[in-house]
Amino acid sequence: MDTKAEIAQAAARLVVEEGLEYGPAKRRAVKQLGLAARSALPDNDAVEEAVREYISIFCADTQPRELAALRQLALTWMERLAEFRPYLGGAVWHGTATRLSDIYLQLFCDDPKSTEIALIDKGVDYEARTVTGFNGEAVEALSFSSVSRELEEVIGVHLLIHDHDDVRGALKPDSRGRPPRGDANAVRALLENAAP
């Protein structure tokens, strides 16, 4: 097995078992494997493939229910924040999420402060920070916790706020030709298709 594949597998375990994001998981995997800090890292597609494999082997009996609960919680927040054109991305959208995964919603609106006002009006205690958006530019992120009744867990929810017009670029297919995120109707369809 080549080094990148080994890193991808170790990172996948960290993603699933500890809820790490791909970047930190890859860096920690390098340390755990005793490799040089400057080792070539696998790309995110390779890590995602390793995560899917890990889930199919070790979590096949629990992950589908956990994913459905996370998607339902995401949809609840998408409906509450419908005026900001929310799109679900990340592991919850791509189907690799477990109960340790956070929910990432991209919002597209003209006035970022209006999102904060909406959260305040809903009594949500949030933390604001700046992160790198999908175009590589700095965007405001509002993070808060929300309880999933199905999972009996507190889940991190992150709202990444983009300009209204950025939605066009947000829907370009990823390297595998998949939509990188979906709106509330797409999330409803995922939930309906997964229902027994």
Q: Kindly report, residue by residue over 78-114, the tens digit of the pLDDT.
A: 999 999 999 999 999 999 999 999 999 999 987 878 9
Collapsed DSSP state (helix, strand, coil) of residue 136: coil
**H or E segment and range at residue 176:** none
Tracing tokens 């998949």 back to the chain, one arrives at: 178
How many Cα neighbours within 13 Å face the side chain of 121? 8
Q: What are phi and psi of 122, to 5 degrees?
A: -90, 0
Residues 6+ apart with CB under 8 A from 171: 87, 179, 180, 181
What is the domain class of 63-194 according to CATH? alpha beta
Domain definitions of the chain by residue range? 3-58, 63-194
pLDDT beyond 80 at 169? no
Q: Kindly report, residue by residue over 27-49, the tens digit of the pLDDT.
A: 999 999 999 999 999 999 999 99
Specify the pairing of strand 127-132 against strand 103-109.
Answer: unpaired
